[in-house]
Amino acid sequence: MRQDHLISASHLSREDIEAVLDRAADIDADPAAFRQRHAGKVLGLCFFEPSTRTRMSFDSAMKRLGGQTVDMGPVESSSVKKGETLADTVRVVEGYADALVLRHPSEGAATMAAEFVDVPLVNAGDGAGQHPSQTLLDLYTIRENAGLDDLTIGIMGDLKYGRTVHSLAEALTNFDASQHFISPESLRLPRNVRYDLHASGAQVREHTELDEVLPELDVLYVTRIQRERFPDENEYRKVAGQYQIDSETLDAASDDLTIMHPLPRVDEISPDIDDTDHATYFEQAHNGIPVRMALLDILLSQDR
């Protein structure tokens, strides 16, 4: 990878992405070969927002590389509660770790934090901004199940606040992918993301109904409506539950359709899909291990 930090998927070239995905495939094929790769190194985990998958898979990935982790723990029991700034927090934690993983509710927080540290910093989600390490595991899952070129993907749900969507859409511009965005009018992709997609020449279409496009799709990427990001609960209620899929919805889909979701889900994918061949979301979450191992391996091996 060309950069020291991973802040936005828009900074990733096709070569960067393939380097991580190929390394992840090597790890999947022979995890034992990587078991002592970063022995003696420490990863700092700074999560200012809740997380299950990202926090635990980075923790597990670092340990599977022979390293260790230090975790800031919940914000409530950290010195953030005493008024410590983000800049001071990351400057302190970089003294305890060889790389940092940061999740924060404010868009742009990772960009700002990276200005203050010399160790590699991974943006693990900044508000409604970006979540690029999720994108790498999403791309790995797509490559394994449907291939990344000549791909027709539908991305559905909360496209306005869904940071996994923003990162994935931008990363897919590196590939021959036709992207269909399905959402209520009020949750369309933000203007800046639409601008970037058009500027890159991406093949993009927007829809309000899934059935307009479902039969064409190789992959359907479903997202949760991000209730916590709505400034007005009434606005959330207007769209909650509008985009739900169940086995009946899939009557019109290709037999080979791959269904993905970054998780956690609320009610947007019925559990009756979980045991079908379409369901790929748990495999996708498990791919967080080889992909985050690969990412850490590359970032920790770079000459700085």
**262 forms part of the interface with ligand CP (CB under 6 A):** yes
Interaction residues for ligand CP, span 107-166 (CB under 6 A)? 125, 134
Copy the structure tokens of residue 43: 């990863």
Q: Choose between 67 and 132: whose C-beta lies nearer to ligand CP.
A: 132
**224 forms part of the interface with ligand CP (CB under 6 A):** no
Q: Choose between 134 and 280: whose C-beta lies nearer to ligand CP.
A: 134
Q: How far is the CB of 203 from ligand CP (least distance, A)?
A: 26
State yes or no: is 54 an active-site residue.
yes
Binding-site positions for carbamoyl phosphate read: 53-54, 103, 131, 134, 263-264
First to last CA, the chain: 12
Interaction residues for ligand CP, span 13-52 (CB under 6 A)? 51-52
Q: Does a cis peptide bond (omega within 30 degrees of 0) precede residue 120?
A: no
Tell me which of 5, 64, 103, 104 is the catalytic residue.
103
Instruction: From 87-95, 222-230, 236-244, 261-269, give the range in contact with ligand CP by CB under 6 A.
Output: 261-269
Handedness of CA 43, 286, 140, 155 (dihedral sign): negative
Residues that contact ligand CP, how many (by CB under 6 A): 9
Interaction residues for ligand CP, span 49-68 (CB under 6 A)? 51-54
Residues near ligand CP (CB under 6 A): 51-54, 125, 134, 262-264
Residues classed as catalytic: 53-54, 82, 103, 131
